[in-house]
Structure 1
């Protein structure tokens, strides 16, 4: 699979699936999660409510993933995954977010994906470690996906990711 790094707005990505760094409630929130819910419109929230009422009454567990339609986003699907809060979970849970998202992508037939840097915002995961884990996990997980793009919102994180990518390759 081709793993790329881009700077930009993940809600504008024209891919099969956009991965959402969700909170366990699946009801939207701040950061990437809020942006995806706002841009995707009410259809995403409606399906998330159904998921909470049926499959995930206690919320989506950390490290797992689930798909919903993308609503008004320029993608077909949103894959929601809950990253660990730094200091409350180990790195294997963060790795699991990427692996689980790829597993869900394979289940729904998504071949091109856009990922945010999971847990590196309000969840406080150190950005360098988050980037290393994202690139390593995306690059080593068997999948039918053909392309995964790590979409970074700000220039400083994008520049750091380019540096990290050279050391991971």
Structure 2
């Protein structure tokens, strides 16, 4: 990506006016709590219908992978459902799986020629991934994937809570990303 543009905002990802928002999904793709439930709720039944079609075709979405659906009623026309790992202490490849979820989201966005993308803090809620570690992995994985995604002009990390917002501001400020 020429002239890297990473930013962080404090807010609600369901209100982002971007080409696609990323959902911190579970492998079943049928909604859940946290950001997953908020996206399904705000986006309406079209997102669930598209997720059901994917489930019928491929049986869900494995951890570390991502799939794309309509955005339904959301301002974003697409939702990329990325499945991050449940934190089990760090000995079960969690870091690599989390990085893969971010990289596969960027890959899907590039394949669909999308320009703007917004990420939540994948796996840091009920999945229990340590927030500082997750932020470092997210930023590094996105930067790596953007090197091969020339259509993407802007990536926004959307933090719902104060702690993640501060973490991402610190990390991106240290890297000159803001």
Aligned residues: 167
Q: CA deviation at 1:74?
A: 0.1
Aligned to 2:105: 101
Q: CA deviation at 1:90?
A: 2.4
User: How is 1:134-145 mapped onto 2 (pairs within 5 angstroms)?
Assistant: 134-141=138-145, 142-143=148-149, 144-145=151-152
Aligned to 2:69: 68
Paired with 1:109 and 1:161, the residues of 2 have a C-alpha distance of: 26
SS at 1:4 equivalent: strand
Consecutive unaligned residues of structure 1, counting only runs of 5 or more, are none
Paired with 1:90 and 1:46, the residues of 2 have a C-alpha distance of: 29
1:7 aligns with 2:10: yes
User: How is 1:15-164 mapped onto 2 (pairs within 5 angstroms)?
Assistant: 15-54=18-57, 56-57=58-59, 59-87=60-88, 88-141=92-145, 142-143=148-149, 144-164=151-171
69-78 or 106-115, larger mean C-alpha shift: 106-115
Paired with 1:123 and 1:90, the residues of 2 have a C-alpha distance of: 11
Structure 1 segments of 4 or more deviating over 4 A? none
Cα RMSD after superposing both structures: 1.1
Q: CA deviation at 1:167?
A: 3.6
Paired with 1:92 and 1:167, the residues of 2 have a C-alpha distance of: 23
